[in-house]
Amino acid sequence: MPSRKKSRTIRVNYLTRAEGEAALRISMRDGELVDLRLEIFEPPRFFEAFLRGRESREAPDLTARICGICPVAYQMSTVHAFEQSYGITIDPAVRELRRLYMCGEWIESHALHIHMLAAPDYLGCDSILTMAEKNREAVERGLRIKQVGNAIVAALGGRSVHPVGACIGGFTRAPGRERLSGLRERLLRVRDDAVECARWVARFDLPVANRDIEFVSLRHPDEYPMNEGRIVSSKGVDAAAEDFEDCFEEHQVPYSNALHCKVKGRGPYFLGPLARINLNFDRLGPGAAAIARETGISWPSSNPYASIVARALEILYAVDEAVRVIDAYRPPDPPAAPFSVRAGVGRAITEAPRGSLYHAFETDDRGLIRAARIVPPTAQNQARIEADLRELAPELARHPQAAATRICEMAIRNYDPCISCSTHFLKLEIESH
Amino acid sequence: MKPRVAVFKFASCDGCQLQFLNAEDELLRLAGQVDFAYFPEARSRALEGPYDIAFVEGSVTTPADARRIIEVREESRYLITIGACATAGGIQALRNWADIEQYRRAVYPSPEFISTLSTSTPISEHVRVDFEIWGCPIDKYQLLAVTRSLLSGAQPVLPAHSVCIECKRRGNVCVVVARGEPCLGPVTRTGCGALCPSFNRGCYGCFGPANAHNMEAFARLLADQGVTGDEAMRRLRGINGYVRPWRETADALAEKK
């Protein structure tokens, strides 16, 4: 197609790949850090405000729209919060299906981040598309893994982005055994890919930085955490998920549309696959644990850059867990528990691919939402990301602009701040005085 | 030279542009046919315009974005909106009926730091749009079909009939007749594959209005099902609530109660 002649740049001060749009501003004087701001300028969409007055039954479809990459986790935190509020008992078969649903999202989201967002950094490429020219096999392997994750979500919810099957009480339709056994075959085929993927990322030239980090995730008495458990940390937090607000606090900074979070009385904390593995290595299952030991990383790891390896290990865990669920599957009947609405408050945390996702809802006696609070993992990681960048500052001073930018981008991408935040995203401003 | 494609994000969840990356089987082939000159979600290098095709995700909700969309239009030969946010204002257009100051205060402790418009509006309220792809999210096959049409110089065409017709084709049992479920299928555009009725639930309107939508008859159908007043209004004021026929019907329902 012909192009018009006129040429101009559209300048967006853009630190993408974090559930939206962000920029980084670093100011240094004589090699010393003066100011550092991770500015999230993703336009606010006010979910917590417009949820007021909506019916609780509508909520899982609405909160899913917060994130196109992890809608399943949003649906899961929402339905668990209302089930707590309404006192609904879930069929154990539904509970298992929900684990499968989360496995699907972890697989697709982690595969996306590893191959499309993070790996190009380590292979010196600007995107998966150029990476495919030299690393075709790894790219195709990544796409195969991602596809199976999408297929799991679609089996339970019709489509992989904003699936429609989840509801308070369970699912609107439970898949038949045949549907899931087809998935089982695909999962078994992709298991070797998952093992290879973990070995591949472990061979990347990962930066080494041992930091004093407080890791936070759910922990469950007998399984790797997804939808249930207590919230624990590597520095002693141990509380019921409902007591999240007693342990953590949000505060606003003038330069960001995302609220910052801290452990009360302490400081920033770290969520996501590395936190989950560090706090739940004993629940990882023999398959993933064996490969984890092979990587040469000693777990728990205080190196934030081990995140990409943790992410790959969680893919392997999720593949094995999905097969386990399918093998034991019996369709729940009915697929969703009947319930009546009542006035009250419900709170829940689930483990989104990027970390713990807290929802709290207050409803009136007609099941209309009176207040909603949603604390996404990327917002919680924000202060921790800034802390990492601050520790990097002395190193940045030694590098030219392009290299310094790349170092910062990798440090941020490492947290997999939702997709639009990760790839190309950083326009680094280092002001030197 | 390969045609230059750009993907822009406004207020959105990223789910629609994610459909490019979800086209696992076709992605590498597509990348052979076009140059993704600007696609921040997937590529760290951003090339300057002009662009042959600009895909725009998201709605306009800030003063800066209202200016940016005009620049995008100037840089682009074809501007295609992808998804409910860009095409109809999205779920965040629920603010259009509310007091934005209250919203700001409900979410942020220091609302003065937040720069936002009082409305969320579709791209077509700001600049000329060459083609709209509906859906929340869009369907990846529709996205690929539109891209191929543009690449071959043909006018893209997508079906605009109702979800009801899709249900009949699939042999779905009608959730309205059999289960008494309220369903937006009669007035909603096809594109999802009649997903919700296949999952035993009513359609909630992800793909916006069908070409032939009889809103009056639809409001009567809801009323016959006992869905009136606020409840009926909420059904329409959802993912695509700000699109004219649904907006007007919902506003009328709100006035009536």
Contact at 8 Å (CB) between A164 and A65? no
Reported as a single tens digit per residue, the pLDDT across B83-95 is 999 999 999 999 9
Average pLDDT of chain B to the nearest whole number: 93
**Closest CA relative to residue A274, chosen from A231, A318, A234, A228:** A234
pTM: 0.94
Instruction: For residues B74 and B138, state if they share a domain.
Output: yes
Inter-chain touch A20–B14, beta carbons under 8 Å:
yes
Alpha helices by DSSP H, listed for chain B, are 18-22, 24-33, 63-75, 84-88, 100-107, 140-151, 163-170, 175-179, 195-198, 215-224, 229-236, 244-256
A8-47 pLDDT, tens digit per residue, is 122 224 543 344 677 888 887 777 788 888 877 777 788 8
Least Cα separation, residue B60 to chain A (angstroms): 9
Structure confidence at residue B113 as a pLDDT band (50, 70, 90) = low
Per-residue pLDDT band for B25 (boundaries 50, 70, 90) equals confident
Tell me: do B42 and B130 sit in the same domain: yes
| Residues with Cβ within 8 Å of residue B216, at least 6 apart in sequence | none
Contacts of B52 in chain A (CB under 8 A): 1, 3
Q: pLDDT tens digit string along B57-111?
A: 999 999 999 999 999 999 999 999 999 999 999 999 999 998 877 777 777 666 7
Is the domain of B147 the same as that of B204?
no
In this structure, the answer to whether residues B140 and B14 fall within a common structural domain is: yes
Q: Tell which of B151, B182, B215 closes a domain.
A: B151
Are both B100 and B220 inside the same structural domain?
no
* B168 belongs to a structural domain: yes
Cis preceding-peptide flag for B3 (omega within 30 of 0): no
- In contact, B204 and B180? CB cutoff 8 Å: no
Q: How far is A130 from chain B (nearest CA, A)?
A: 9
Q: What is the pLDDT of residues B37-48, one digit of tens each?
A: 999 888 888 899
Lowest mean pLDDT, pick from A64-68, B52-56, B66-70, B138-142: A64-68
**Is the same domain home to B142 and B171?**
no
- Is the same domain home to B11 and B80? yes
Nearest to B42 among A19, A52, A127 (CB): A127
Is there a contact between B15 and A68 if contact means CB atoms under 8 Å apart? yes
* Nearest-neighbour CA in chain B from A431: distance (Å): 22
Under 8 Å between Cβ of A364 and A343: yes
Q: How far is B203 from chain A (nearest CA, A)?
A: 10
- Is the per-residue pLDDT at B144 higher than 70? yes
Residue among B108, B109, B199 minimizing CB distance to A172? B199
Tell me the nearest-neighbour CA distance from B37 into chain A, angstroms: 11
Q: What is the CATH number of the domain that holds B107?
A: 3.40.50.700
Give the angle subtended at the CA of A107 by the CAs of A103 and A111, to the nearest 5°: 170
pLDDT at A5 over 90: no
Nearest Cα residue in chain B from A421: B41
Q: Residue B156 falls within a domain, yes or no?
A: no
Query: From the CB of residue B10, how many other CB atoms can be counted at a distance below 10 Å?
Result: 25
Is the pLDDT score of B257 beyond 80? no
In whole angstroms, give the CA distance from residue A78 to residue A72.
10
Residues of chain A contacting B195 with CB distance shorter than 8 Å: 158-159, 164
Secondary structure (3-state) at B199: coil
- pLDDT per residue as tens digits for the range A199-221: 999 999 999 999 999 999 999 99
Please count the structural domains in chain B: 2
A268 preceded by a cis bond (ω within 30 of 0)? no
What ipTM score was computed for the predicted complex, to two decimals? Answer: 0.95
Residues B17 and B114 reside in one and the same domain: yes
Least CB–CB distance from A150: residue in B22, B72, B231: B22
Residue at a domain's end among B93, B117, B151: B151
User: Cα–Cα distance between B216 and B218 in angstroms, integer?
Assistant: 5
Looking at residue A431, its pLDDT comes to: 53
Give CA–CA dist A403/B154, Å, rounded: 44
A397: which DSSP letter? T
Q: With contact defined as beta carbons under 8 Å apart, do A326 and A234 qualify? A: no
Q: Is residue B44 part of a domain?
A: yes
Task: Classify residue B192: in a domain, yes or no.
Answer: yes
Same domain flag for B107 and B189 = no
- Burial of B93 (C-beta count, 10 Å sphere; 0-12/13-18/19+): buried
Alpha helices in B10-139 (DSSP H): 18-22, 24-33, 63-75, 84-88, 100-107
- Asked whether residue B13 falls in the same domain as residue B112, the answer is yes
Q: Identify the closest residue of chain A to B95 by CA–CA distance.
A: A50
Residues of the domain holding B175:
163-256
Helix (H) or strand (E) holding A278: helix A273-280
Whether residue A163 has a cis bond before it, omega within 30° of 0: no
Instruction: Choose one of B101, B129, B151: the last residue of a domain.
Output: B151
B74 shares a domain with B8: yes
Per-residue pLDDT, averaged over A80-85, amounts to 98
In a domain, B170, yes or no: yes
Nearest to A158 among B113, B151, B198 (CB): B198
Inter-chain residue contact B18 with A68, CB threshold 8 Å: yes
Nearest to A349 by CA among A233, A211, A260, A255: A233
Q: Is the pLDDT of residue A350 over 90?
A: yes
Does B138 lie in the same domain as B26? yes
Please, which residues bridge with residue A371 across strands?
A362
Continuous segment of H or E residues that includes residue A374:
strand A369-375
Do the chains contact at A3 and B50, CB–CB below 8 Å? yes
Tell me, yes or no, whether B88 lies in a domain.
yes
> Which of A4, A10, A125 should be substituted to probe chain B, the one whose Cβ sees the most B Cβ atoms within 10 Å?
A10
Closest C-alpha to A283, from A201, A209, A333, A218: A218
Q: How many CB atoms lie within 10 A of CB B124?
A: 15
> What is the number of other CB atoms lying within 10 angstroms of the CB of residue A303?
17
Residue B158 domain-assigned?
no
- Count of pairs with CB atoms under 8 A, one residue in A, one in B: 223
| Residue B60 dihedral angles phi and psi, to the nearest 5° | -95, 120
The minimum CA-CA distance between A300 and chain B, rounded to whole Å, is 31
- Most A CBs within 10 A among B13, B16, B52, B143, hence the mutation to make, goes to B13
> What residues of A are in contact with residue B49 (Cβ under 8 Å)?
7-10
Dist CA A228 CA A240 (whole Å): 10
Residue A125 pLDDT > 50: yes
Q: Considering the domain boundaries, does residue B52 fall inside one? A: yes
> What pLDDT, on the 0 to 100 scale, is given for residue A10?
23
Q: How far apart are the first and last CA of chain B?
A: 60
Helix (H, G, I), strand (E, B) or coil at A309: helix
- The pLDDT value recorded for residue B184 is 98
Q: pLDDT of A281-301, one tens digit each?
A: 999 999 999 999 999 999 999
